[in-house]
Structure 1
Amino acid sequence: MHYQIRQVQLSDVERCYEIESLAYPVDEAATKEKIQIRAKQYPEGFIVLEDQNQIIGFINSGCTDHVVMSDDHFKELVGHISSGAHLVIMSVVVDPEFQGQGYAAKLMNAFIDLAKSLNKKSIYLMCKAEYIKLYEKFGFKFTQVSESSHGHAKWYEMQLALI
């Protein structure tokens, strides 16, 4: 397993969009425009995992001092402040061809280390019920059922305190 985790580059957007489209249902996947906005405006919070020089997964995020997980505008980084105390994960995604091999865990561990190095107070994310236990393994705690109706699904808000 020869993998590398690095900060996103704008030339990665097309491949990231391809993975997002393969891994998420159509009404949940971020558009290419949203992925590009995240890569342009906050590359510090956007990491990609490469295996043999091919991107196979990524995590992207935004920062804020006031987390409102159901705010759909924030997915386009409206209200994003790089110096914000809290990271909000938008996507944790691995190409379906490479799922089940531990890559998501490698990404999450690297992202948590990144958040600590950026002196963030916490990381927030939303997930479906079947992923709650996965994120609990990384120290995330369930906070509430989200008011978000993204993709017409039921979402659960999770938080990892770093301080």
Structure 2
Amino acid sequence: MIFDNYTIRSARPEDTHRCFEIETVSYQGEEAATCEKIAKRITTYPDGFMVIEIDGQIIGFINSGSCDQVIMSDESFKELIGHDPNGKHNVIMSVVVHPDFQGKSISSILMHNYILRMRKLQKESIYLMCSEQNIALYEKFGFRYQKESDSSHGGMSWHEMVLSL
């Protein structure tokens, strides 16, 4: 099912609690960002925090930071320590869709629009970490597998991927 009545935009501070709600129902335990982290990501780098709405309700989002040197296992980057909005590389922290809307191509719509935005911002690449089950999904968008990550964020095993823009 493809939706044609959606809106894509940068997140605003008033979106914090809805984004936190989606994050906590979609991710397990410590894998989810805190409300404070989400608020900081929205205010610090709105170009890297894209939401998708249907009928005025946020149903998913992507958030990120940018830098010139990417170290995927650096947990402090999730606090945007080392973030530079003009950095040539973009690092995605979350790609999340509310469970009620999963399996309906929402993440594909988000990712396509996000990649276009990063190209417009003249980023050279987009990095992300994902679970093993999502490697094939990101390969469909052109991401290349790099390696198993040194990160054990949330007590899970992660895999690093990169998309050259």
Q: Which residue of 1 aligns with 2:81?
A: 78
1:37-56 superposed matches below 5 A = 37-56=40-59
Q: 5+ unaligned residues in a row in structure 1: which ranges?
A: none
1:117-136 superposed matches below 5 A = 117-136=120-139
User: Post-superposition shift, 1:129?
Assistant: 0.2
Q: 5+ unaligned residues in a row in structure 2: which ranges?
A: none
1:6-85 superposed matches below 5 A = 6-85=9-88
Query: What is the TM-score when the length of structure 1 is the normalising length?
Result: 0.99
Identity, in percent, stands at 53
Partner amino acid, structure 2, of 1:72: E
Q: Which residue of 2 aligns with 1:116?
A: 119
Matches of 1:113 and 1:55, distance apart in 2: 20
List 4+ stretches of structure 1 deviating above 4 A.
Answer: none
User: Post-superposition shift, 1:150?
Assistant: 0.3
User: Post-superposition shift, 1:66?
Assistant: 0.4
Matches of 2:30 and 2:13, distance apart in 1: 24
User: Post-superposition shift, 1:69?
Assistant: 0.5
User: What is the Cα-based RMSD across aligned positions, in Å?
Assistant: 0.5
Partner amino acid, structure 1, of 2:24: S
Pick the aligned partner of 2:145 from 114, 127, 142.
Answer: 142
User: Post-superposition shift, 1:26?
Assistant: 1.3
Q: Which residue of 2 aligns with 1:156?
A: 159
Matches of 1:26 and 1:56, distance apart in 2: 20
Pick the aligned partner of 1:107 from 107, 110, 123.
Answer: 110
Matches of 2:48 and 2:21, distance apart in 1: 19
CA deviations on 1:33-87 (whole Å, 9 max, x unpaired) are 1101100100011100000100000000000000000001000100000110000
User: Post-superposition shift, 1:14?
Assistant: 0.4
Where 1:30 maps in the other structure, the secondary structure is: coil
User: Post-superposition shift, 1:97?
Assistant: 0.6
User: Post-superposition shift, 1:13?
Assistant: 0.5
User: Post-superposition shift, 1:27?
Assistant: 1.5
